Amino acid sequence: DADVTQTPRNRITKTGKRIMLECSQTKGHDRMYWYRQDPGLGLRLIYYSFDVKDINKGEISDGYSVSRQAQAKFSLSLESAIPNQTALYFCATSDLDRASGNYGYTFGSGTRLTVV
Amino acid sequence: LAKTTQPISMDSYEGQEVNITCSHNNIATNDYITWYQQFPSQGPRFIIQGYKTKVTNEVASLFIPADRKSSTLSLPRVSLSDTAVYYCLVGDKAAGNKLTFGGGTRVLVKP
C-alpha cells in the first residue's frame, strides 16, 4: 500500500460544484501539504498543516479550503469549482528521517481534476 | 525562502553523466539543498539532500561549493528511465518549512 494515498485519482466536475479531494497517510507524519501543478509548471502550495490543530494558507489558497480530520487525513475542498482550477493536485507529508538525517517529502500519486 | 534558478531543459544520451546546476545566491545559513525527481503524472520523489561539500547515495551525487550559492546534481550513467523533471529546493531542514518548487529541469535521455 502507498504511504500517501489520494482519492479520487481522476475527477471531472462541473463549474460551480463543490468537490473534495482526500488524502490519507500511513507515514505517521505530523506535517501535510496540498500542492497544485499545472501543465509544464512546478508545484504551487495551496495549504499546509503542521499538526491536527494547525492550518496555514499557502501561496494560492483562494477558492480552496482544507480540513485536517486526523493526523493521517488531510482533505482539500473546492467550494465552487471553476475551470481554471483544472490541474493535477498532490498531497504530501514531511518529516525527518532519523536514520539518514534527511528531511524529505513523500508525495501521493496525484488527483487529476478537470472542471468543465 | 531562497529562490533557485536551474536550466529549463537538458538532453543527454544513455550511459552519459548528467550534471544539473542550481543557483541559490541568497541561501540562508540554516538552509539545506534538496533535489526531487518527478515522472509524468506522478508526485515528486526525494533524490538527495545536502548542506555542504559532497553527498553521494545510490542514485546520485550532490556537489556543493564552499560558498553554497549553487549546487550540482550529478546522475551517473543515465538510462532512458531517468527521463524526468528534476527540482532543486532550498529550505530550513530543522524547521521543516514548506518548500517552493520552481519549474525544474526537464531531462530527456535519448537512446
Measured CA to CA, the distance from residue A35 to residue A87 in angstroms comes to 10
Residue B12 pLDDT exceeds 80? yes
Question: Region B23-36: what's the mean pLDDT?
Answer: 91
pLDDT in tens, A25-56: 999 999 999 999 998 788 899 999 999 999 99
Enumerate residues 6+ apart whose C-beta is below 8 A from A101. none
> Where are any strands of DSSP class E within chain B?
9-13, 18-23, 31-38, 45-50, 53-56, 61-64, 70-75, 84-92, 105-110
CB of B54 within 8 A of CB of B73?
A: no
Residue B33 pLDDT exceeds 70? yes
**Which residues of B lie inside 8 Å of A (Cβ-Cβ)?**
32, 34, 36, 41-46, 49, 87, 93, 96, 98-104
CB of A92 within 8 A of CB of A108?
A: yes
**How much is the pLDDT for B8?**
94
Alpha carbon B54 to its chain centroid, in Å, reads: 13
pLDDT in tens, B67-96: 999 999 999 999 999 999 999 998 876 555
Q: pLDDT per position in chain A (116 positions), as tens?
A: 679 999 999 999 999 999 999 999 999 999 999 999 998 788 899 999 999 999 999 989 999 999 999 999 999 999 999 999 999 999 999 888 777 777 888 999 999 999 99
Interface of A with B in 31-90 (CB under 8 A): 31, 33, 35, 40-45, 48, 50, 56, 58-59, 88, 90
CB of B27 within 8 A of CB of B50?
A: no
Interface of A with B in 10-29 (CB under 8 A): none
**How much is the pLDDT for A99?**
79
DSSP assignments along B7-22, one per residue? -SEEEEETT--EEEEE
Q: How many angstroms away from the CA of B81 is the closest CA of chain A?
A: 18
Contact residues on chain B for A48, CB-CB shorter than 8 A: 98
How is residue B79 written as a grid cell? 538510462
